[in-house]
Amino acid sequence: MQAWFGIAVATLLLGLVLPVQAAQKVSRPSHYEGFASATYDGHEMSSRYIEVRDGTRIAIDIFRPTKGGELATEKLPVLWMHTPYHRRFFQKGLAAENYPGKALKLARYGYVVAIADFRGLFASYGRNAGYNRGEWQPWARWDAYDITEWLAEQPWSSGKVGMWGCSATGGSQMQALTTAPTSLKAVFPLSCEWDAYPFAVFGGMSPPEGISSRVRRGGSREARDASAVPVDGPAGPVLLQEAIAEHANNLETAGYSPLRDSIASEFGSQWWLDSSPYTYQEAIERSGIAIYTAVNLDEEGPGYGPYFLFNNLSNPRKLTIGPATHCDWTTVMADTGFDILVEELRFFDRWLKGIDNGVMEEAPVTYYTYNLDSSDIGLPGWQTAKDWPLPQQQLQAFPLAPGALNLPGTDEPVSGAIEHPVDYSVTADTFWDHGLQFTTGPLAEDVQVTGHPVLRLWLASTANDADVIARIDDVAPDGTATYYTVEGRLRASLRATEDAPYNNLGLPWHPFTAASQAPLVPGEPVLLEFDLYVISNLFKAGHEIRLTLNFFDERATPRLPEPPVVSVYHGGNQRSELVLPIIPREETRVAMTE
């Protein structure tokens, strides 16, 4: 009896202490437990106008956490997004819950969430200029400051504010950093820009004036206004019509601005410089605001900024590089198990709640490599690093030869040139079926390429200019080609390079200015150097690395009365080559961890 009683007491005591022992704390990329709990089970939405310093009224939705239908009584940190895309709805649901970043899903962990319409768009009063880049207008930069401080001063706010969002709403976070609101402690910009010109005009390939392109932005103001949602209250519909009336003088686009130093025809300013975060680098660094930036491998210009942001700022910062396309972290989660929301929670818990979860002490870079099975965070394909580009990368040159991309260390190609008539019949659907192709042949072993490829191309044309578009494919033994959006472009007349005004990671930097233009002399070869968008891929043994070159894009390349002939040179003093960042094989053999 005594023995049984003793065992029962011991069991009871173990039952009391075991839950404490079992509540282990884990914080690593995409894995977070023991630090935060879902205290709340719902939210309450309200909307209203905020009046900023010049009297303009900005429409905002606010989501406060609830538990059992009762509003949170404690003061909580606030996460907000400044958007040109509709504060209320996205993909048939709430923007706060569905727009990339999905911050409303963090409300149950004790965060107030808010979304505001840009001034001059949807339900906000005022005049917009530049549509989804309008945050870079001087008045809009201070709107972000005033909204942040208003949120910090509310009775339900802890006074600490963060921002979230992707693409244009990643850019609006960078814009907010330039005015450094006192209460803004951390931002989480996905796929934001750093240098706006190459972000929008790939390789200087601006189309002739009047042709629709990324240079001439815009949209239907009437359609946006028709979908706008009024704020709460009986006066909401009347106020909405007043706001819409103020949109009549919106400027949908900066106008034609083909070069980095062009004066935008509608704005009368050097718009590419005004809307580039690097222009405000000193102000952003003085703010000391923490930055977690992320980007996917299968995006082009819109996702090019995070690599440079990470390398140019001294702010506390992190960088994550995932697979999938622009802002598509839902696919990243479905395909690889990596959850960007976990990263948001870890980051904001650290900077807005002061939770010592180690997120800033771990390796600052997390990246994915296609076709790689190993990992150091417990998810196949994912690795961490102390820096970007990877410190262990080895830049190796693959010389071009007729039809071949020679492996490093093999015999040098003989000198010569390949002539290629420019094909004006090429369309977006057949773009890569009519170019020059160079392949390595089957690889003898796996080759990991992670970083920024650079093409050094000797070229001549029968015309006084040429557009060059290059891309890399992974070609399987059965001929199937997989394209990971590794593409680069350059207009030959803008080939000049110079030192960048920021850390350009050692890549060729083109000023793209009027003074730097240098037309080709027909028949005279020149060297073009430009980088391709980021790659992180393990080319398996038996696969081929293929480079394709094309010289016409119907969206940008001017048509001449007679299509020119382009010559690509190889070997000797005019050695064209593709420089790839190779990761030594031993670096790919990282043991799986749990």
pLDDT (tens digit, 9 = 90+) per residue, 457-510? 999 999 999 999 999 999 999 999 998 888 999 999 999 999 999 999 999 999
Task: List the structure tokens of 103.
Answer: 């911050």
Class of domain 394-588: mainly beta
- pLDDT bracket for residue 63 (50, 70, 90): very high
Give kind and range of the element (H or E) at residue 424: none
The pLDDT score that the predictor gives to residue 199 is 81
Q: How far apart, in whole angstroms, are the C-alpha atoms of residue 486 and residue 500?
A: 22
Domain with CATH 2.60.120.260 in the chain: 394-588
- Give the pairing type, strands 544-550 and 481-491: unpaired
Q: What is the longest distance spanned by two Cα atoms in the chain?
A: 105
Are the CB atoms for 455 and 420 separated by under 8 Å? no
Q: Any idea which residue has 């189309």 for tokens?
A: 207
Q: How far apart, in whole angstroms, are the C-alpha atoms of residue 11 and residue 17?
A: 10
> Is it the case that residue 5 has pLDDT exceeding 60?
no
Q: How far apart, in whole angstroms, are the C-alpha atoms of residue 433 and residue 17?
A: 67
Could you give the C-alpha distances from 106 to 78, 203, 247, 340, in angstroms and in order? 11, 39, 34, 12
> Is it the case that residue 591 has pLDDT exceeding 50?
no
Are the CB atoms for 22 and 15 separated by under 8 Å? no
- Determine the angle formed by the axes of helices 138-153 and 168-179, rounding to 10 degrees: 80
pLDDT tens digits, 144-201: 999 999 999 999 999 999 999 999 999 999 999 999 999 999 999 999 999 999 888 9
Task: Residue 354: count other Cβ atoms within 10 Å of its Cβ.
Answer: 11
CATH homologous superfamily of domain 37-195+219-252+276-360? Answer: Alpha/Beta hydrolase fold, catalytic domain (3.40.50.1820)
Q: How far apart, in whole angstroms, are the C-alpha atoms of residue 318 and residue 362?
A: 10
* Helices marked H in 135-235: 138-153, 168-179, 196-200, 221-227
> Is it the case that residue 214 has pLDDT exceeding 80?
no
pLDDT tens digits, 516-544: 999 999 999 999 999 999 999 999 999 99
Residues with Cβ within 8 Å of 328's Cβ and at least 6 positions away in sequence, in order, are 100, 296
Sign, CA dihedral 574-513-522-426, equals positive
| Terminal Cα distance for the chain, rounded | 45
Share of the chain above pLDDT 90, in %: 84
Are the CB atoms for 452 and 534 separated by under 8 Å? yes
Mean pLDDT for the chain overall: 92
Q: How far apart, in whole angstroms, are the C-alpha atoms of residue 456 and residue 525?
A: 13
Q: How far apart, in whole angstroms, are the C-alpha atoms of residue 39 and residue 291?
A: 26
Q: Which of 262, 193, 255, 214 is nearest to 553 (CA)?
A: 214
Residues with Cβ within 8 Å of 70's Cβ and at least 6 positions away in sequence, in order, are none
> Is it the case that residue 93 has pLDDT exceeding 90?
yes
- pLDDT bracket for residue 23 (50, 70, 90): low
Q: Any idea which residue has 């593709």 for tokens?
A: 578
Could you give the C-alpha distances from 36 to 20, 68, 222, 241, in angstroms and in order? 15, 19, 44, 43
Give the pTM.
0.93
The pLDDT score that the predictor gives to residue 428 is 74
Tell whether omega for the bond before 389 is within 30 degrees of 0, i.e. cis. Answer: yes
Please give the sequence-ordered ranges of beta strands (E in DSSP) within 422-540, or none if there are none: 436-439, 447-451, 454-461, 467-475, 481-491, 526-531, 535-539
Backbone angles phi, psi at 259, to 5 degrees: -120, 160
The pLDDT score that the predictor gives to residue 237 is 98
Average pLDDT over residues 85-91: 95
pLDDT tens digits, 539-577: 999 999 999 999 999 889 999 999 999 999 999 999 999
The pLDDT score that the predictor gives to residue 434 is 76
Q: How far apart, in whole angstroms, are the C-alpha atoms of residue 538 and residue 585?
A: 10
The pLDDT score that the predictor gives to residue 210 is 63
Are the CB atoms for 360 and 316 separated by under 8 Å? yes
pLDDT tens digits, 277-330: 999 999 999 999 999 999 999 987 767 899 999 999 999 999 999 999 999 999
